[in-house]
Structures are given as structure tokens and as C-alpha cells.
Chain A
């Protein structure tokens, strides 16, 4: 594939450069999921990608994490072109995808058993890692549930554990694919706050895929609106509000104005 030559400028941590993705691409007539999408994300930036369903939001995440290769264009992360699965990524999905045979604590510890340099010193330093995992679980409000199994937890608690698992190895890049979509409204808003706190503590670069506009504006520095298939970026909106943001902020006129603006954008691409 692409050579290492296409290094991104120093200020962009993730550089998605005119990327297209075609599924079933052998004959060239497969479904075009993404068409010339470009997004540049600074280090420590929190971006949200919103758009109608089927706009290739999830494909975008797979491209950035290196699980899928673009049909055209290239993705660079931390200055080098992505050629295979990155090893600095934390991921969470709509389903918590926890392992039912592991306790919540052991689920959170899973990445440390795999990611270097933690994996090779995991056995010696286990006590220290366990302490870290307990602290993280406490931060998301799961103190006392460490030894429970995931199936003994509610959906919101499972999603909190899933966030902890995505963050335990302090990834430079965090990918969230509609992580709160399956939760009720109150739990969802709770978790926005939890996620914001976690992000403010470590400042990873975050890509959040969502179809909830309030969620996008509450959490993100920049919101990208994508068009329906084939997906491409049709608008970029900066969210200027100071951190930490509160739920009350989401009912202020300037917040609602941005949300409305985004809604109009999406309405336009849906009718196009």
C-alpha cells in the first residue's frame, strides 16, 4: 500500500486525507461507503462525527484504527501512515462487548494483558495494575462492583466498564462508536459527564461517532456532519464553550443554536 513518505504536518495527530472506501472492491462496483473524506484532528482534540445512518461513520473508525484499508487516499496517525492495526487505540461500541467469564475488574484489565509494554510486565506488576483499574472504576462510579460479572450489571454499568476498558492502557486515541445509543436518556446524560471528566483528566484524542446532536455538541470540540452514502464531510462546526460543560449548558440559547444549525445540515444532506 502507501509508503511511509506521506507524513502529516506536525499539528495534525490524525490526518484523514481524501479517503475513499469501497466494499467488495475487487470488480470496482462494490458499495462506495466513503468518498474523498478529509478530517484533520489535533492531538488531544475531541471530535464528533454525526450524520444519517449509513453514512460510513463506523467505516471511518475502522480506517483510522487500521482495521480496514482505504480504497483511495490515506490515513496518518502520529505522523506515520496507517498500514495495519494501530496499537495505541482504545475502543468502545454500542454493545459493551464485555467478556462474561471475567469479572468487571478482569474485563477492565484485559488490554493490559495484550498491549505492550504492559503485557510483558503484567505478572510482576499485577497489584499495581489492579490498583489502577480499581481507581478508574471508582471514577466512573463502579466502586464495589469490581468482582461482579458483567451480566450482573445494568446496561449503564456495563457501558461504564466498557469505557474503563477502553481507557485503562491510556490510549493516545479513543474511538467511540455510538457508545451510549442503547442507554436510556438519564443514564446517557450521566455518562456524558463521566466521559468528559475522564477526557479532561488524560486528554486523549477522541473520535466519537453518534447520531445524538446534543451529545455531539456537549462533548466535542469539533463536530463533523457527514452526508449519506457515499459518506463525505459536508460541514465542520467548532463548539466554543468552555470546559467542563454542564447539562444546564445544553439548554442555553447558544448551545441550542449550534444544535439547530447541525440539524439543518443533516436535514439538507438527507433530502439531497
Chain B
């Protein structure tokens, strides 16, 4: 039951089982390809359109990463400001919550009016949708410094800036990385939404174009590529998190 090797294999078994079942359903019930293509048909489309798909995937990836990068820089700064100052918190929080509540799909048409069709609205959408969790998490990490620890530092003559730098920021890092994993996925959603609404490149655009041509296997191939990119980026940040904030997920190896 809890054989560690079996546990490691389990996700792969489930994944393969999922696709096998999908294939079986399509074949047994002869599902038309324009409703649900079988995995083998999606694979065929993927091979056939390999280079165009790669081109669009690269575009989406870059858009996502640029938007995400801006969100990280902006979110980190704003999070530190909100988390370390009661005044900034009181002043900005309602605005931020309200802003976050707006569905970003609704913002895309406005961005298109301002910036035209193309990469810029996609980057901005990716940024807008992904900065909020970063701000909230970093702010939480900073705001929850133990008062006793603050006393220790203040009684040494530490300035507010020193407390933030020596304790606040390192302490917020686990929160920050937890937010990054959520934010990178959201940034993906943002750029694809924008590409879907109005763009002439990117996986979102590719899927809309394929849809218009009733090339459903290609639509699904786009979906699979998105899923793959999403998982890959998530894993990158999960890996960084384990390396940098290992101390937050401490083991049970107590000495003495």
C-alpha cells in the first residue's frame, strides 16, 4: 500500500490510465473527431503542426514570463510596503481587493483599445492577474513577524529598514514562493485569455484559429501544450522553493 516505489509510479500510472481510457472511450463509442478527438489524433495533429505550435508556444511562454516578471517585481515591492506599514495597508488594501475582484477577461477589451491587438495587452493581462497573490502573501509574511523578535532587534538599535531586511524579507520568502507557484499558473491563464480575445500569435490565438477551421485535434493539441508548459513552470518554482526555503519545510530530524 505505502511502498515508496509504488507511490512514485502512481501519478504516472494514473496519467497513462487517463489517456488510455480516453482513447478507449473515443474508439468504442466512435466519438466524432470534431467533438472529442482521441489522444492518438491529437498526437498526430501535434506532429503535423509541430513547428507552428512551437512558434506560438514560444510566444505565449515569453508573454507569460514577461508579465509574470513584472508581477514579481511589483508584487514584492508592494507586498513589502503593505506588510511593513499599517498606513500603506489601510490605504491600499480595499483598492487592491476591489481590483482583484474584477474579472480580467473584462479588462482585455480596454487594454486593446489602449494598446492595440498583440503582445502588449497579453503581457499586461498576465501581470494584472498574477500580482495580487504575490502582494498578499509577501505582506502576510512581513506582518506576522513575532513581536518578541522585533523587541530583540529594536533593543539592539535596529532601524525599521534593518528589521525588514534581516527578518521580514527572509521570513516572507516561503510565503513568496508559495505565491509564485500560484502566480505563474495565473499568468499563463492571463496571457492565453488575452491571446484568445485579440491577438495574432500565441497558443490562445492558434486555438481560436484552429477552432474556426474546425480543426479540433489542433485545438486539443494547443490545450495539451498549455498544460505541459504550466506543469513545467510550476515545477521550476517548486524546485526553487525547495532549494531556497528548505528551512520552512523542516524535517523531523531533531537532535539530542
Contacting pair B151 A67 (CB below 8 A): yes
Per the CB 8 Å criterion, the residue count for chain A at the interface is 34
> Whose C-beta in chain A lies nearest to the C-beta of B151?
A67
The CA of A233 and the CA of B245, in the complex, are separated in Å by: 47
Interface residues of B in 212-256 (CB under 8 A from A): 245, 247-248, 250, 253-256
Of B151, B155, B167, the contact of A99 (CB 8 Å cutoff):
B167
Interface-facing stretch out of B10-18, B113-121, B156-164: B156-164
A86 in the interface (beta carbon within 8 A)? yes
The CA of A91 and the CA of B158, in the complex, are separated in Å by: 14
Contacting pair B247 A87 (CB below 8 A): no
**Most A CB within 10 A of own CB, among B162, B171, B173, B255:** B255
Taking A91-B152, A97-B152, A100-B248 as contacts, is the C-beta distance between A157 and B158 under 8 angstroms?
no
B170 in the interface (beta carbon within 8 A)? yes
The CA of A62 and the CA of B254, in the complex, are separated in Å by: 33
How far, in Å, is B97 (CB) from chain A's closest CB?
A: 29
Q: Which residues of B contact A154 (CB under 8 A)?
A: 254-256
Contacting pair A157 B255 (CB below 8 A): yes
- The digit string for B158-186, where 1 denotes a CB below 8 A from any CB of A, is 10001000110011010000000000000
Q: Which residues of B contact A169 (CB under 8 A)?
A: 156
Taking A149-B247, A154-B254 as contacts, is the C-beta distance between A85 and B166 under 8 angstroms?
no
Q: Which residues of A contact B167 (CB under 8 A)?
A: 99
> Whose C-beta in chain A lies nearest to the C-beta of B146?
A97
Contacting pair A153 B256 (CB below 8 A): yes
The CA of A154 and the CA of B253, in the complex, are separated in Å by: 10
Q: Which residues of A contact B155 (CB under 8 A)?
A: 65-67, 85-87, 89-91, 175
Of A93, A101, A165, the contact of B148 (CB 8 Å cutoff):
A93
A145 in the interface (beta carbon within 8 A)? yes
Of B151, B158, B250, the contact of A62 (CB 8 Å cutoff):
B151
Q: Which residues of B contact A157 (CB under 8 A)?
A: 255-256
The CA of A85 and the CA of B163, in the complex, are separated in Å by: 14
> Whose C-beta in chain A lies nearest to the C-beta of B245?
A101
Contacting pair B248 A95 (CB below 8 A): no
Q: Which residues of B contact A153 (CB under 8 A)?
A: 254-256
Contacting pair A114 B247 (CB below 8 A): no
The CA of A132 and the CA of B225, in the complex, are separated in Å by: 57
- The digit string for B119-159, where 1 denotes a CB below 8 A from any CB of A, is 00000000000000000000000000010110111111110
> Whose C-beta in chain A lies nearest to the C-beta of B162?
A114
Of A62, A99, A114, the contact of B156 (CB 8 Å cutoff):
A114
Q: Which residues of B contact A67 (CB under 8 A)?
A: 151, 154-155
Taking A153-B255, A157-B256 as contacts, is the C-beta distance between A114 and B148 under 8 angstroms?
no
Q: Which residues of A contact B152 (CB under 8 A)?
A: 91, 93, 97, 165
A116 in the interface (beta carbon within 8 A)? yes
**What is B's interface to A at a CB cutoff of 8 Å?**
146, 148-149, 151-158, 162, 166-167, 170-171, 173, 245, 247-248, 250, 253-256
The 3 closest A-B pairs by CB, nearest first: A87-B157, A89-B155, A151-B250
A-B contact pairs, 21 of them (CB 8 A): A67-B154, A86-B155, A86-B157, A89-B155, A90-B155, A91-B155, A93-B148, A93-B151, A99-B149, A100-B250, A101-B245, A101-B248, A111-B156, A151-B247, A152-B253, A153-B255, A153-B256, A154-B254, A157-B256, A165-B152, A175-B155
**A-B contact sample (20 more), CB < 8 A, given A85-B155, A93-B151, A97-B149:** A65-B155, A66-B155, A67-B151, A89-B156, A90-B155, A91-B151, A95-B146, A100-B247, A100-B250, A101-B170, A101-B171, A110-B166, A114-B156, A114-B158, A114-B162, A149-B250, A151-B254, A152-B250, A152-B255, A154-B256
